[in-house]
Amino acid sequence: MLLVRIDPRDLPHRLLAWSRLVARLRSEYRAVHGRRLRLFRPRSYTEKMQWRKAFDRNPAYPRILDKVAVRKRIERRAGADLLVPVQWVGKRPIRIPFDELKAPYVLKSTHACGHVIMVDPDDEPDLPLIRRRARKWLTVDHSLHRAEWGYSKIPPRLVVETRVGGQDPPLERRVFVFGGKAHVVNTVVTEDGRIRNAAFHDLGWNRLQWWFTREPLPGPWPRPDRLDAMIAAAEAVAADLDHARVDFFDGGDQIWIGEVTLYSWSGLSKFSPAQADADLGAAWPLHRPVRRALRTILTRDPVGV
């Protein structure tokens, strides 16, 4: 039985706002995937991601998505040796201590995606330009971009991280965890400044012929030396979540957790073959989606409209 307290004066406005969000999600989903979104009874991975965006109000999500706050979870569950070193955290770009920073480093916002400036040892960074960009980042509410609720509760800040691996950046390994168990690993490389999802493997390191956006790079891709450690750490960090993607930097003999991702590609990247979307969706244990969605609709305001 669904028992919630509802203020009848708020209900018409709230239902109208929710209808707009549902229409937005369905429109965006159809534009990418070419099919109707089963939002209230989702099956595929990308459908369940739309459900999470709209209806899952897990209070832990903002702390997980915050690139600084999540460090406590990583340290507590996987160990401090997996943390990327941090050189500075703050709210005011004018106070970034550029004279004291040790390159190579990366300046990021803590509350959004895609806010990244890399500085190498031989660079002569345009500091006024960097500060202007950082000030602009601080005005962004990333939750509005793709209706991802978890970002709406993160205080905007800046962080400077040491770029691990030196000037030769390590590979990225993204471990998909469902119900506390790792399922697949996505290896990522950067080509000409562009991120490319090079390969997917199962936990036995068998190549999966999955891709999206761009076809995968040819192999072979050797089994990572620290694969077992990555899997164990990912499962520890995501143990209490129905799904999370734990992103590692793989330096061969050393690994670091870069971040924990809850809204992978916002569910708006098209997998090939379609069975990949179905397989990941089947692994995601999403319980009572209709009841939970109705509770959120009746008691919470939507984000992204």
What confidence tens digit (pLDDT) does each residue in 276-304 have? 999 999 999 999 999 999 999 999 999 99
| pLDDT attached to residue 182 | 99
Would you say residue 2 lies in a domain? no
Residue 160, CA distances (Å) to 9, 85, 121 in order: 46, 9, 15
**Same-domain check for residues 181 and 227:** yes
Same structural domain, 175 and 292: yes
Shared-domain flag, residues 187 and 138: no
pLDDT at 19 over 90: yes
Continuous H helices in the chain: 11-33, 45-55, 61-65, 70-78, 127-137, 143-146, 227-237, 274-283, 289-299
Both 179 and 200 in one domain: the answer is yes
Q: Which residue do the tokens 């980042």 mark?
A: 137
- Looking at the structure of the chain, the number of domains it has is 2
- Compute the chain's Rg from CA coordinates: 20
* CATH of residue 138: 3.30.1490
Is 303 a domain residue? no
CA atoms within 13 A on the CB side of 266: 19
pLDDT of residue 218 exceeding 90, the answer is: no
**Are 182 and 252 within one domain?**
yes
Q: Which domain holds residue 250?
A: 7-82+169-296
Is there a single domain that holds both residue 248 and residue 124? no
Q: Is residue 305 assigned to a domain?
A: no
- What is d(CA 228, CA 47) in angstroms, rounded to the nearest whole number? 30
Last residue in a domain, options 139, 163, 187: 163
Q: Are 37 and 70 members of one domain?
A: yes
Is the domain of 183 the same as that of 252? yes
pLDDT-based confidence at 216, cuts 50/70/90?
A: confident
Asked if 241 and 182 touch (Cβ cutoff 8 Å), the reply is no
Query: Is 131 part of any domain?
Result: yes
Residue 58 placed within a domain: yes
| Residue 304 belongs to a domain | no
Q: Does residue 252 lie within any of the structural domains?
A: yes
Reported confidence tier of residue 138, pLDDT bands at 50, 70, 90: very high
Specify whether 19 is located in the same domain as 113.
no
Q: Same domain for 145 and 274? A: no
Q: Quote the pLDDT of residue 170.
A: 85
Looking at the structure, do residues 98 and 76 belong to the same domain, yes or no?
no
Within this chain, do residues 139 and 155 fall inside the same structural domain, yes or no?
yes
Identify whether 1 is part of a domain. Answer: no
pLDDT averaged over every residue in the chain: 94
Final residue of a domain: which of 128, 163, 198? 163
Question: Could you say which of 163, 195, 230 is where a domain stops?
Answer: 163
Say whether pLDDT at 149 is over 60.
yes
